[in-house]
Amino acid sequence: MQEIATESDVMHTESDLVREPRRDSSRSVSEVPGAAVLPVLVFVLNSRHGTSWEHELVNRLRASGICETLVWELAAQHGSCAGSARPSRDDAAPQVRDITAIVDLTGHFGTDCHGDTAEGVWRICDRQGVVLGEEHHGLETIAAGVGIHLHLVASTSAGTTLIDKAGAFACPGERVSMQRLCGFAATLLLSAAREIAVLGTLQPRPAWKPDGKRATLVQRMMWKLRELRNRLLRLLRGCLLVDYWMVGIVDMRLTEAMRSQHLPVRWIGKRRGTQYWADPFGVPGSKDEIYCEEFDLKRNVGRIVRLKLNGSAEPDPPEHVDLGLAGHLSYPYLFPHKGALYCVAESAQSRRCVLNRLDEGGRWAQVAVILDNTEVADPTIFRHQGYFWLAYTDVSLGAFDNLCLCYASDLLGPWHAHPQNPVKIDHQSSRSAGAVIKDGDELLRVAQVCKSGYGQAIAVNRILHCTPTLYREEVIRTVSPERDQLNPHGIHTMSALGDRTLVDGKHSVINYWVLRRRITSRITSRITSRITRAAQRLLCVGIYQHCNDPLLRCVLEV
């Protein structure tokens, strides 16, 4: 987190701005390779006594080196260009270059005041158009249990467009801190500013309009009731249901499967009471070998196993794969390079992302540490434009809702974090779900849809820009498990097995063994807690009875 500047550092009245406009000359254009001129963003705040999150947002943009920032104070007159926040163009000091965009954090600055800006007036709001910081911002989606939704929209002479959006998982009724929302808003603004710095302008965007009118008091009351219902349902589901995953095969190529909204899956193996298989990846060059996660419900930990298909519905017994890593392991992503087979698996508990290579003796050896001291989830390596790329989710930023990148010229490193990280915030299309592949001229990446829970469906993303300075992608379709009779509740991995496609699917069921374990664990925890408190009281009483120090006796009485 950047240090928050004082009001005198951040805020400017109209007269201050005309005499001495604020710009961040300490940052050089060279910090954004390929940028001719840094964009200039003007932030509109209500008054000199802006809130802490507004200061933090401005400071994050200012410290990034991606853009120059100005701050204008909005006077009491709202809703038009006549407000004192906007000095006329003719009166502006010569140091002020053409303004790229005006970022309205108040919701009251006139959206028609875009005449002399390159990219218009920007606002950060929810789907209803409620501006970030207002009382009922995000109330509908959080109450419905579908998370946080932030939209960065631009108003220009051509209309209102959606520049970008962020989404994050949140439980129904969860109190989302302004600091967290500020982080999402900063990611949206930094991504847009970076695109302008690298490409010179924003690429065409879709039109945007609010999802309905502003909510009435009755609607907000209904949302609160829905929130209560969803909280109870989530609590019951967490207590009673267990997600069981199965591995399946689709008789079509991976690119064909990505174009399908629903998949005809042949599931392999049987549903077992205390374990399941998930995260399947086919061995390159093989038509019947699979690496996957085997999760043990008794120990609550996963390991990597190798499955050999034998033409029947039940594969050969699984073989344990030793990657030399401790703790929970999953997502064994496989890829060939220069005649060797490599594997990078999720090992978030060890806080390391390790690259493994299969030697001639059939043993896996660690050859490089890509990331250290980072909780990496679902790491996926691909090649593009002369670089190796690692796409992953940083669990410390959120388990479902962020995409981060590293890149390297050589597979063994050194690896560099992308300066845009996290390059994406969206719980419906960020966390990796399998390989990044070429489909004609398109580069496609599959990701998990975690709208109201983990691994509900798969989003297919088209990568638009992937360079060491800029990353951008868009969702083009969703693959849903809804029509599947055996596993209708989720799908979160797609990978190639020769000319076929591997997937996994889940079915949420009541597992009485797991339910008994949960109840026993909670009862044991409460009993242990009460015994501990009782022992502490007895210890205090014993010390009190044998203590002659008046001060210590007073403390024990309290």
The full set of domain ranges for the chain reads: 7-215, 240-510, 524-557
Distance CA 322, CA 356 (A): 10
Alpha-carbon dihedral angle through residues 327, 333, 337, 340, given to the nearest 10 degrees: 60
Per the model's pLDDT, the better-predicted residue between 405 and 482 turns out to be: 405
Which amino acid belongs to residue 494?
M
**HSE toward the beta carbon, residue 542, CA cutoff 13 A:** 6
Residues 285 and 496: beta-carbon distance below 8 Å: no
Residues 529 and 537: beta-carbon distance below 8 Å: no
Segments of 26-117 assigned E as strands: 40-45, 68-73, 101-104
Distance CA 117, CA 70 (A): 13
163 pLDDT tier (thresholds 50, 70, 90): very high
Q: Please provide the average confidence, as pLDDT, over all residues in the chain.
A: 84
Distance CA 96, CA 94 (A): 5
What percent of the chain is predicted at pLDDT more than 90?
Answer: 56
- Decide: helix, strand or coil at residue 286: coil
113 pLDDT tier (thresholds 50, 70, 90): confident
Q: What is the pLDDT of residue 83?
A: 46
Provide the angle, in degrees to the nearest 10, between the axes of the packed helices 52-64 and 178-199. Answer: 30
Contacts of 319 (CB under 8 A, 6+ apart): 305, 306, 308
Q: What is the pLDDT of residue 36?
A: 58
Would you say residue 23 has pLDDT above 50?
no
Cα R_g (the chain), whole angstroms: 27
Contacts of 363 (CB under 8 A, 6+ apart): 322
Cβ neighbour number for residue 38 with a 10 Å cutoff: 22
pLDDT tens-digit series, residues 165-197: 999 988 888 888 888 999 999 999 999 999 999
Would you say residue 275 has pLDDT above 50?
yes
Would you say residue 16 has pLDDT above 50?
no
CATH (residue range 240-510):
2.115.10.20
Rounded average pLDDT over 518-537: 75
pLDDT tens-digit series, residues 88-104: 333 343 344 589 999 99
- Decide: helix, strand or coil at residue 388: strand
Distance CA 121, CA 110 (A): 8
Would you say residue 252 has pLDDT above 80?
yes
Distance CA 543, CA 552 (A): 9
pLDDT tens-digit series, residues 401-434: 999 999 999 999 999 999 999 999 999 999 999 9
Which amino acid belongs to residue 132?
L
Would you say residue 287 has pLDDT above 80?
yes
* Topology (CATH level 3) of domain 7-215: Rossmann fold (3.40.50)
